[in-house]
């Protein structure tokens, strides 16, 4: 065991032993030795003869910061970056990390609530099957069955269209969009290989047949298949940007809906968005994985202030090559969920080249006014250009209709 030794002097001032510094920083000597081994907090001096560690009392604040970051669960590699930053930059990094944690927790919460609701509904359906009299006569077990692909369900299809535009300011288009009988998707690429990343993410989803046999799959099996589809998109992006000189700085957002014939599977990561128009009301059904959105969520920024926030559009989650110097906090898996649909629903997916410059009231008016998805996407791109078109635009619109 390392002995404390004695305090020594140094050009920067009086140094203290590891034991004295442990008391000063309210950390254990064991923790301090571990931080040294990991490169998180080096002693001011290591005696070359006996190996004793000595610290500058001014290091106490940095030592406590490492301990606090460990307590919130920050990975050691990220702590190593934070402790090298000035106070302002460190605060931004910590906020971004915690916002990512909250976003992932919210995604897990939504999935848990979906499973609770779905399994509860399955339980009620089982209780009504012939021969199952366990809950017979309970009025809570009677009621609507919804359009979930069961026998007698009304056959539905989607009618859709997609459009991208370079915008007024940019010279290249890194956005991608697709609309087909089983897939609706938009992706907003960034970095040197942004165009390749966005195209690869969508191409990976096109051959997916995850919902083709929905009637034979449980909700859990559908969700597993949807997770596999999302993972395929992530791998495709990594492969697409790998040959480039700066693969860790390239990536894409992705918001996609896969049609099963009675439900939509949602895959979402980044700050592209999905909206639902139902009953004349426009609802946003995705949550931005961005620093600004996290500040809105914790109350430190109002929606009005967010519209003119001067900071960079820092993404907390995106599909990337590597996560070392990309403009994202960390590479993460997309959110996935299943959504029940109704005939008459209209869905809008768009990149932030549209949503960042056109407010939701104008989006709603444009989506309502269009008779068909093809007209809707043209109206939306025109709105973005009239608002200055500072970024690429991608949008896709789908109507859920009764099969003719």
Q: At what angle do helices 219-241 and 194-205 cross, to 10 degrees?
A: 150
349 vs 16, 139, 270, 329, CA distance in Å? 60, 39, 13, 24
pLDDT band at 10; cut points 50, 70, 90 = very low
Least Cα distance to 18 among 55, 65, 61, 64 occurs for: 55
CB 51 within 8 Å of CB 14: no
Instruction: Report which secondary-structure segment, H or E, holds 400.
Output: strand 393-402
Q: Output the domain CATH number for residue 194.
A: 3.60.40.10
What total of structural domains would you count in the chain? 2
Please indicate, yes or no, whether residues 167 and 74 belong to a single structural domain of this protein: no
Q: E-strand spans in 109-235?
A: 156-165, 175-179, 183-190
CB 369 within 8 Å of CB 325: no
Residue 1 lies in a domain: no
Residue 367 lies in a domain: yes
Please indicate, yes or no, whether residues 161 and 185 belong to a single structural domain of this protein: yes
Please indicate, yes or no, whether residues 324 and 284 belong to a single structural domain of this protein: yes
Residue 307 lies in a domain: yes
pLDDT in tens, 172-221: 999 999 999 989 999 999 999 999 999 999 999 987 655 555 555 566 67
- Give me the pLDDT at residue 275, please: 97
Please indicate, yes or no, whether residues 60 and 111 belong to a single structural domain of this protein: no
Which residues are CB-neighbours of 134 under 8 A, at least 6 positions away? Answer: 127
Kindly report which listed range (14-18, 36-40, 85-89) carries the lowest average pLDDT score.
36-40
Least Cα distance to 318 among 308, 331, 305, 306 occurs for: 331
For residue 342, the 8-state DSSP code is -
The pLDDT of residue 167 is above 90: yes
Mean predicted confidence (pLDDT) in 113-131:
59
Residue 163 lies in a domain: yes
Least Cα distance to 99 among 238, 305, 287 occurs for: 287
pLDDT in tens, 20-66: 888 888 888 888 888 888 777 888 898 888 888 899 888 888 888 88
Q: Output the domain CATH number for residue 48.
A: 1.10.1660.10
Domain finish residue from 44, 62, 84: 84
Please indicate, yes or no, whether residues 150 and 238 belong to a single structural domain of this protein: yes
Least Cα distance to 354 among 385, 398, 312, 310 occurs for: 385
Residues listed for the chain: 404
* More confident position, 142 or 186: 186
Total-model pTM? 0.66
Tell me which residue range forms the domain holding 322: 98-402
Residue 142 lies in a domain: yes
Please indicate, yes or no, whether residues 51 and 112 belong to a single structural domain of this protein: no
The pLDDT of residue 134 is above 60: no
Residue 90 lies in a domain: no
- Give me the pLDDT at residue 125, please: 53
């Amino acid at each position: 065991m390392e002995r404390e030794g004695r305090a020594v002097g140094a050009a920067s001032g009086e140094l203290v032993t590891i034991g004295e510094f442990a008391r000063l920083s309210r950390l254990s000597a064991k923790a301090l030795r571990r931080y040294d081994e990991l490169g998180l907090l080096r002693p001011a001096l290591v005696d070359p003869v006996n190996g004793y560690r000595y610290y500058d009392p001014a290091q106490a604040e940095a030592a406590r910061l490492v301990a606090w970051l460990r307590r919130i669960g920050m990975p050691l590699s990220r702590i190593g970056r934070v402790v090298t930053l000035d106070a302002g930059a460190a605060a931004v990094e910590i906020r971004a990390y915690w916002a990512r944690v909250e976003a992932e927790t919210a995604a897990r919460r939504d999935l848990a609530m979906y499973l609770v609701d779905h399994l509860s509904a399955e339980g009620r359906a089982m209780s009504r099957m012939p021969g199952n009299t366990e809950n017979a006569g309970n009025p809570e077990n009677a009621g609507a069955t919804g359009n979930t692909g069961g026998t007698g369900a009304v056959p539905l299809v989607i009618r859709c269209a997609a459009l991208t535009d370079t915008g007024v300011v940019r010279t290249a288009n890194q956005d991608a969009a697709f609309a087909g009988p089983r897939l609706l998707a938009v992706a907003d690429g960034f970095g040197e290989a942004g165009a390749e990343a966005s195209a690869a993410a969508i191409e990976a989803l096109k051959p997916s047949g995850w919902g083709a046999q929905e009637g034979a799959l449980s909700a859990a099996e559908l969700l597993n298949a949807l997770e596999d589809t999302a993972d395929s998109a992530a791998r495709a992006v990594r492969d697409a940007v790998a040959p480039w000189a700066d693969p860790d700085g390239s990536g894409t957002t992705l918001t996609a809906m896969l049609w099963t014939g009675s439900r939509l599977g949602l895959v979402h990561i980044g700050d592209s968005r999905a909206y639902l128009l139902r009953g004349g009301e426009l609802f946003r059904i995705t949550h931005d994985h961005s620093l600004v959105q996290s500040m809105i969520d914790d109350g430190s920024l109002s929606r009005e202030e967010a519209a003119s926030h001067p900071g960079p559009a820092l993404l907390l989650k995106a599909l990337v090559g590597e996560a070392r110097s990309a403009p994202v906090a960390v590479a993460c898996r997309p959110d996935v969920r299943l959504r029940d649909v109704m005939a008459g629903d209209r869905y809008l997916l768009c990149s932030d080249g549209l949503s960042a410059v056109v407010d939701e009231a104008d989006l709603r008016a444009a989506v309502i006014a269009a008779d068909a998805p093809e007209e809707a996407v043209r109206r939306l791109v025109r709105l973005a250009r009239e608002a200055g078109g500072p970024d690429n635009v991608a949008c896709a619109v789908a109507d859920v209709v009764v099969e003719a």
